[in-house]
Amino acid sequence: MPTATLTSKGQITIPSLVRKRLKLKAGDRLDFIFEPDGCISLAVKRAPFEELRGILRRPGKRATTVQAMDRGIEEAVRARWSARSVLRSNQR
């Protein structure tokens, strides 16, 4: 039976046998289920792909193109850098 040790920070490393059996990978979320008999079950929290379909869609709105997203990112970066340069020049 695999075991794990709790660190002083409240963390554990899930044994590799358990990770393989649950097909866990970095970033997976886990649910701890408290059973009436005092046992705790561990379940991988995964959303079925079908549930994710359309979650970013807004009715009545057109899809954003990759080019429009790139322009938005570029504008945000330019605004952030210009704000920083103004702050630096004011500190001098």
Per-residue model confidence as pLDDT tens digits over 41-80: 988 887 666 666 666 777 787 778 899 999 999 999 998 8
Contacts of 82 (CB under 8 A, 6+ apart): none
* pLDDT of the residue at 26: 85
- If one counts the domains in the chain, the total is 2
CATH number at residue 28: 2.10.260.10
40 contacts 34 by C-beta, under 8 angstroms: yes
Burial class (CB in 10 A: 0-12, 13-18, 19+), 22: middle
Residue 41 lies in a domain: yes
Specify whether 41 is located in the same domain as 6: yes
Strands (E), the chain: 29-34, 40-45
Residue 22 lies in a domain: yes
Global pTM exceeds 0.85: no
Q: Which residue has the higher pLDDT, 91 or 41?
A: 41
> Rounded CA gap, 29 and 42, in Å?
10
Which residues form the domain of 82?
A: 60-91
28 three-state secondary structure? coil
Residue 72 lies in a domain: yes
* pLDDT of the residue at 43: 87
Residue 55 lies in a domain: no
- Compute CA distances 75 → 16, 23, 67, 82, whole Å: 45, 40, 12, 10
Name the DSSP letter for residue 33: E
Residue 85 lies in a domain: yes
Q: Which residue has the higher pLDDT, 12 or 86?
A: 12
Residue 52 lies in a domain: no
pLDDT digits (tens, 9 = 90+) for 2-25: 999 999 999 999 999 999 998 888
* pLDDT of the residue at 34: 94
